[in-house]
Structure 1
Amino acid sequence: MNPAQPRLPDDRAFTQTVFVVIDFEGTTPKGHPPEPIEVAALGLQHVPGRGPVAGGFAFASFISPPAHAPLTRSDTAQTGITTADLSDAPSARLVLRRLDEALPPEPVLLVAHHAPVEANILYAYRTACPRLARTRIVDTRLLAKHLLPGLPAYSLDALLAHHGIAQPAHRHRAMDDVRVTAELFHRLLTAAARPRAITSLADLVRVATRAPRAAQPIQLELS
């Protein structure tokens, strides 16, 4: 290892970025895309000697699903969320607008495990949460595949087990899943920094994010 090689904690863009870990729980109506019933988000920022740690920003809310995507028994069995929990919950548009407005100032990157799920929901509600929908998401699944090739599985549960991270008390509840994803992200960045496999925020963005659909230019069709 070359001592002169840049280090991730020395990258100014990395240390100034707030990483917002986000997770949705949802229903999966037949013939329709998933609809959120709960969202949680937790801000992480670099602390010298400790890496990205939680502090300063947290958000959680139940969400009332639309009529075509009601909560089912299987949803309750998986998440523990009941119809009583959702009885007075705000709509997805209202909750995501509140979350969008509550985000820390730039620069911000989102973090999620298997990010297309979160990205698709944010895109579907992009008019309510334009900033969220245009923000890149660091996918801990992609990051793990880059840093740990050859693992038999890259699900959240498999990666928690690989890193010796305890299952949360309420797996498949949004904030519990956010907290263990934050811990996984921290472990992966630690693994990346030691051999200097990732030395900058630009490296991290390159290997573990995809451009959000809402940020892509609209192509007009020719008639």
Structure 2
Amino acid sequence: MGGLTTDPAFLDTTYVVIDFESATPRGYPAQPIEVAVRALRYENRAWITAGRFHSLIRPPAFAPVTSATVPPGVTADEVRAAPEPPEAMGALDRRFTADRRYLLVAQHAATEANLIHQQRDHCPALARIDLLDTIPLAKHLLPGLPAYNLDTLLRHFAILYPADRHRATADVDVTTDVFTRLITLADESARITDLAALLKIAGRTATLNQPEHHGLFDL
């Protein structure tokens, strides 16, 4: 194996695969209606699941719940009875502790990053965690694929397509499968030797961690 999975920084990190399902009401940004996470650690040359979280989320009044906006297999009544964003996102935020290093892992991480940033008042710890995007990582390790969406990567790796695809927990699980296979590829090829190199290829800085850009004439 290569140096990536023996790198102390890599081993010291908890990788939190995250997925939101959302609805986009007219005139407003996307609103989360479901979230799932799966926390992973690499120990003794194997991936272990260190924790899970899932919640439906009741959107605000300006994003009315209809049968067309709920995730497949969920009723509008279930979403209306779900916790509101402060409760749901706050419960997730409390799963993170100050004494651990985390990276969020997502397929097309910009989507998750934007939703988290919009909810930052309810999840300040989560909103400070940087991200790793499986798409640029797959492009680096698997050049020449016809596309790099999740379905294409599932077919490439022969990962079973879940019956409840487009539910947050199912998508987290298959994204986990893609992520761990990509790490194995990186490790076996020795093309990515440590966490810093991995982040240079596929990292995304959380919006709250980015430097502020002041206007030219700010005083």
Matched, 1:98 2:91: yes
Aligned length: 216
DSSP 3-state at the match of 2:69: helix
Which segments of 5 or more consecutive residues in structure 1 lack a partner in the other structure? none
Alignment deviations for residues 44-89 of structure 1 (CA, whole Å, 9 cap, x no partner): 0002232x332x311101100111222333334x522221211321
Q: Distance in 2 between matches of 1:165 and 1:200?
A: 26
Q: Which residue of 2 aligns with 1:24?
A: 20
Q: Distance in 2 between matches of 1:94 and 1:84?
A: 18
Match of 2:79 among 86, 109, 113: 86
Q: 190-199 or 85-94, which moves further after superposition?
A: 85-94
Q: Distance in 1 between matches of 2:107 and 2:194?
A: 21
DSSP 3-state at the match of 1:205: helix
What is the CA distance between 1:138 and its match in structure 2? 0.8
Which segments of 5 or more consecutive residues in structure 2 lack a partner in the other structure? none
Q: Which amino acid letter does the alignment assign opposite residue 79 of structure 2?
A: L
Matched, 1:168 2:162: yes
What is the CA distance between 1:125 and its match in structure 2? 1.1
Q: Retained in 2: the 8 A contact 1:27–1:37? A: yes
What is the CA distance between 1:220 and its match in structure 2? 4.2
Q: Distance in 2 between matches of 1:219 and 1:190?
A: 38
Alignment deviations for residues 71-125 of structure 1 (CA, whole Å, 9 cap, x no partner): 333334x522221211321111221111111125411101010111100011011
CA RMSD across the alignment: 1.7
Q: Which residue of 1 aligns with 2:9?
A: 13
DSSP 3-state at the match of 2:32: strand
Q: Percent sequence identity over matched residues? A: 44
Q: Distance in 2 between matches of 1:73 and 1:83?
A: 6
What is the CA distance between 1:40 and its match in structure 2? 0.5
Q: Which residue of 2 aligns with 1:49?
A: 45
Q: Distance in 1 between matches of 2:56 and 2:128?
A: 23
Q: Which amino acid letter does the alignment assign opposite residue 146 of structure 1?
A: H
Q: TM-score, normalised by structure 1?
A: 0.91
Q: Which residue of 1 aligns with 2:34?
A: 38
Q: Retained in 1: the 8 A contact 2:65–2:80? A: no
Matched, 1:218 2:212: yes
What is the CA distance between 1:214 and its match in structure 2? 1.1
Q: TM-score, normalised by structure 2?
A: 0.92
What is the CA distance between 1:154 and its match in structure 2? 0.7
Alignment deviations for residues 16-63 of structure 1 (CA, whole Å, 9 cap, x no partner): 11000010011121222110111011110002232x332x31110110
Q: Which residue of 2 aligns with 1:71?
A: 65
DSSP 3-state at the match of 1:161: helix
Match of 2:145 among 151, 175, 178: 151
